[in-house]
Amino acid sequence: MLVKYSPLIRGARGVPHKLVYIPYKKSLAKRARENRKTPTPAEQKMWEEVLQGKKLMGLKFSRQKPLGEFIVDFYCSELLLAIEIDGDSHGKQIEYDTKRTEKLNALGITVIRYTNEEVMKNIDGVYEDLKRQVEKLKQPPQSPLSGGG
């Protein structure tokens, strides 16, 4: 049974990923399929060296995943995590990227961004940074009653 994820259920990372369904515009499916066939060099490197085949901490990632009104470069449904690889054009669309990230966050999705240059020139550093961020996401949320807040 699939249930829609509600933005009101913040911190629902404990929900088994098979129960979380994030609706998307059906018109994006064809474009996502085309994007998977023609990845950028940085996307290809990230996929092959970091994400494909559960290389990153045993997590399953999808490429070019439609979510809401967007297509994200990589997505892990278990953690509600999107990874974006930003090319040169992203420096000119900071406001758009910020709004896009806010809309994905409202769906309960965490967005992590790397530049093409970071992926192409420092894939080991990207891997280590991503691993640290995933470890944080895997930690259960602190309860205000536990003294952590």
pLDDT at 89 over 70: no
Share of the chain above pLDDT 70, in %: 79
Predicted pLDDT at 101: 93
Check residues 9 and 64 and name the one with the higher pLDDT: 64
- CB under 8 Å to 76, separation ≥6 — which residues? 59, 60, 61, 62, 83
pLDDT digits (tens, 9 = 90+) for 22-75: 888 989 999 999 999 999 999 999 999 999 999 999 999 999 999 999 999 999
What is the Cα–Cα distance from 145 to 149, expressed in whole angstroms?
8
pTM of the model: 0.79
Predicted pLDDT at 139: 84
Domains of the chain: 17-137 (3.40.960.10)
As a dihedral over the C-alpha atoms of residue 139, residue 144, residue 147, residue 149, rounded to 10 degrees, the angle is: 70
